[in-house]
Amino acid sequence: MLILSRRSVRAAALAAVVALPLVSCSKSDNAKPVATASFSASKSRVALGSPVILNYKFDVAPDAALNGNYKVFVHVSDPDGKIMWNDDHDPPVPTSQWKPGQTIQYSRTKFIPIFPYLGEATVRLGLYRGNDRLPLAGIDPADRNSTSREYKVGALELMPQSENVFIQYRSGWHPDEYSPENPSISWRWTQKLATVSFANPRKDATFYLDYDARPDVFGGTEFDPQTNRQKMESLARRNRRS
């Protein structure tokens, strides 16, 4: 006859509870990837608050069949896995139009949020629609051993904000405002005229201006931030000065 004390029974029950998630975590994703995802940036070391061009690429599998439109989620996390910010977006070519063997490649300009972390940040991405995620292939084969369908595609080295160009906000600016959902996102409203100043880099440079508007509040035409950002970048390139 086996006699167990109350303490040993409680310990056995606890061991059983602890063992359950270990078994479930051992499952791997056996679904065939619909595409291979890759990522690169215009610079691997980027200062907080500075702009960087993020390049995304999806090599669609030869036998892939994508039904419906999925969004791209992009998570940038610290070594502990904490997500610092994201770059979620719709791909320029809807996934319902992706064809087997096709390569979908595009770039997006992102201002790195000012976050209290310096060092290497991991970039992970995936395709999702609601709670549904599609299987992909990334640079880390270990991602296929998880059913989260979030794939490592690269890394960024985050540098101090002091490494960025120092900008002085002169006249015509209101105080900073912050997003209640994500405090790393901030903006400033201007008056009719506003002035900023910064040191002349004395070499060819591209000036990035990320701006937005509220035509629903103040009136005006429909505003497309991405289109206007591209126009400003093109104008800045034409007006580079040494």
Are 150 and 175 in the same domain? no
Q: Is the confidence at residue 223, as pLDDT, over 60? A: no
**What total of structural domains would you count in the chain?**
2
pLDDT, tens digit (0-9, with 9 covering 90-100), for 132-166: 999 999 988 888 888 899 999 999 999 998 877 77
Residue 217 DSSP symbol: H
Strand partners, 123: 76, 154
Instruction: Output the pLDDT for position 9.
Output: 39
Q: What does the block give as tokens for 31?
A: 């679904």
Domain end, chosen from 131, 161, 191, is at: 161
CB-count burial class (<10 Å; 0-12, 13-18, 19+) for 76? buried
List the domain range (segments joined by +) for residue 84.
35-161
Are 171 and 215 in the same domain? yes
Lowest mean pLDDT of 56-60, 100-104, 110-114, 120-124, name the range: 110-114
Distances (CA, A) of 239 to 166, 201, 226: 20, 14, 20
Domain end, chosen from 128, 161, 194, is at: 161
Domain end, chosen from 143, 161, 179, is at: 161
Q: What does the block give as tokens for 213?
A: 């508007």
Q: The domain that contains 132 carries what CATH number?
A: 2.60.40.1930
Q: Is the confidence at residue 58, as pLDDT, over 80? A: yes
Are 146 and 59 in the same domain? yes
187 contacts: CB under 8 Å, gap ≥ 6:
176, 177, 212
Are 143 and 200 in the same domain? no
For residue 26, being part of any structural domain is answered with no
